[in-house]
Structure 1
């Protein structure tokens, strides 16, 4: 195989300032394109204590009406230093002409969420329609995610969850700043 045949004709994904231009259906969410980092707090009734975490979220595209989504988190100590990896997930957001968003989000812990919601103004809300679990995954019944861009350029994130026999309730919140 020649070197030319081994290369791909297009980069995998593009951030906020790259070519090709985002697909017109991405218009409600183009301000999300790029990588965001920040810190947050988490809690849940089944956890021994609340926790602080750092988070990085990336949104990219390849010219089609999809966002590639990736999020990573680390438990941090009181000074904000990483203690250990926490959550990690990746997926796709599919944008529709009327502002609807369909999301597929997969986690290495054996959980796959199929969510739907809306992008309206600077807010995106996603609620699970289905959760698929591997045989050894912890029980998760529902989630609700909210992403909001504030006037001062902060991306706020909140996540509610119904899991392990608990009703839907607050689990995570973070404030993220664009780094690229």
Structure 2
């Protein structure tokens, strides 16, 4: 797996997932402050159209460069019953864009050919989002809509759930994970 050390440094300041270093978080990102970091954990993926459920590991990186948005990158890998990695799975990247009215936009691009635009609410410990638009390539799975929830629990972990309406099925729970802050 490549690392940031595989790339030449940019002539501009790097983004950071550590609020103790780098540029100050933009004031507009205050409602998203608790999301900034590197989170890793595991969860379960299931859907009526797949043979599941499957266990997976995931790392979510939410970083910033001092401007009024956050960068989002999530990578996942399938796990066997013993917790050993089977293979890479989902990979998505995008942007959290807080708005002056307290709402948030989340733009996500998936490696599977799906682009999603979510709108939702930004709290200090809980974020609820639903798609407004889903665009897909001709070869992508037929996804019609999605809902996501991110919430900090009392133990400091980030609980993440996602439901999807896809392949002709109504909105159905799809993913649930618990991620712990590692940065």
Output the CA distance in 2 between the equivalents of 1:97 and 1:80: 43
Consecutive unaligned residues in structure 1, runs of 5 or more? 1-5
Q: How many residues align?
A: 175
| Alignment match, 2:29 | 26
By how many angstroms is 1:11 displaced?
Answer: 2.6
**Bigger Cα displacement from structure 2, 106-115 vs 8-17:** 8-17
Output the CA distance in 2 between the equivalents of 1:7 and 1:19: 15
* TM-score normalized with structure 2 length: 0.92
| Alignment match, 1:142 | 145
Q: Which has the larger radius of gyration?
A: 1
Q: 1:7 to 1:162 in 2, by over 3 A?
A: closer
Alignment pair present for 1:121 and 2:124: yes
Output the CA distance in 2 between the equivalents of 1:99 and 1:20: 23
Consecutive unaligned residues in structure 2, runs of 5 or more? 1-7
Counterpart of 1:71 (choices 71, 74, 83) is 74
SS in 1 for 2:34: helix
| Alignment match, 1:17 | 20
CA RMSD for the aligned pairs? 1.3
- Given that 2:44 and 2:175 are in contact with CA atoms closer than 8 Å, whether structure 1 keeps it comes out as yes
Output the CA distance in 2 between the equivalents of 1:17 and 1:151: 22
Alignment of 1:55-66 (within 5 A): 55-66=58-69
Output the CA distance in 2 between the equivalents of 1:61 and 1:79: 35
SS in 2 for 1:57: strand
Output the CA distance in 2 between the equivalents of 1:71 and 1:110: 15
What is the CA deviation profile of residues 31-56 of structure 1, one whole-angstrom value per residue up to 9, with x for unaligned ones? 11110000101110000121100010
Output the CA distance in 1 between the equivalents of 2:59 and 2:45: 15
Output the CA distance in 1 between the equivalents of 2:172 and 2:140: 20
Output the CA distance in 1 between the equivalents of 2:10 and 2:46: 43
SS in 2 for 1:26: helix
By how many angstroms is 1:29 displaced?
Answer: 1.1
